[in-house]
Structure 1
Amino acid sequence: MTAIFIEAAGWIGAICVFTAYVLLSTGRLTSQSASFHILNMIGAAGFVINTWAHGAIPSMALNIVWAGVGAYALFRIIRNHQR
């Protein structure tokens, strides 16, 4: 059961990152869109789970930073929206 969760997390992460990229590239989202950053954060979280379980520490570290960048951007979007 755990192995299925780990693989599902990785696939969901990949789908989220890919979807964010496609939507950005086709102009359906902008880099200032909360949806873009949420998709990237969910994707990075899925990758963190999957890469940690497989011992891919450099990839895991990159995705932790990736999620942090998304969280910071989302924080700025929300803060600017409230003003």
Structure 2
Amino acid sequence: MTPIWVDIAGWGGALLILVAYGLLTAGRMAAASPAYQAMNLAGAVGFIINSGWNGAIPSAALNVIWAGIALVALIRLRRGPGPASRE
């Protein structure tokens, strides 16, 4: 039997990613916003926990990449615009 915290992580991750995508599609959130990227990162971590626990390796691998993309985006957002955009 799967521990409840694993199920909560999976459902919480799904909810975060779906809400983020819904807000983006509705024009209420920008893809370049820290909130959008943080929701994707946290959601992917929830999926990694759930799929890793349940042995769904392809899903876990996809979400490791998803989390990596969100983390890179958050780092870039924190650093600000790069030299090329200052021209």
Question: Hey, what's the Cα distance between the residues in 1 that align with 2:40 and 2:3?
Answer: 23
Q: Point out the structure with the larger helix share.
A: 1
Q: Which residue of 2 aligns with 1:29?
A: 29
Residues 1:76 and 2:79 aligned together: no
Offset, 1:66: 0.3
Q: Which residue of 1 aligns with 2:61?
A: 61
Number of matched pairs: 81
Structure 1 vs Structure 2: percent identity of aligned residues? 45
Unaligned residue ranges in structure 1 (runs of 5+): none
Question: Hey, what's the Cα distance between the residues in 2 that align with 1:53 and 1:71?
Answer: 22
Offset, 1:8: 0.3
Offset, 1:45: 0.2
Question: Hey, what's the Cα distance between the residues in 1 that align with 2:22 and 2:11?
Answer: 16
Unaligned residue ranges in structure 2 (runs of 5+): 82-87
Question: Hey, what's the Cα distance between the residues in 2 that align with 1:78 and 1:23?
Answer: 22
Structure 1 length normalisation: TM-score?
0.93
Q: Deviations over 1:17-51 (max 9, x none)?
A: 00100110011111100000000000000000000
Query: What is the DSSP-based 3-state SS (H/G/I as helix, E as strand, rest coil) of the residue aligned with 1:28?
Result: coil
Query: What is the DSSP-based 3-state SS (H/G/I as helix, E as strand, rest coil) of the residue aligned with 1:58?
Result: helix
Moved over 4 A (4+): none
Structure 2 length normalisation: TM-score?
0.89
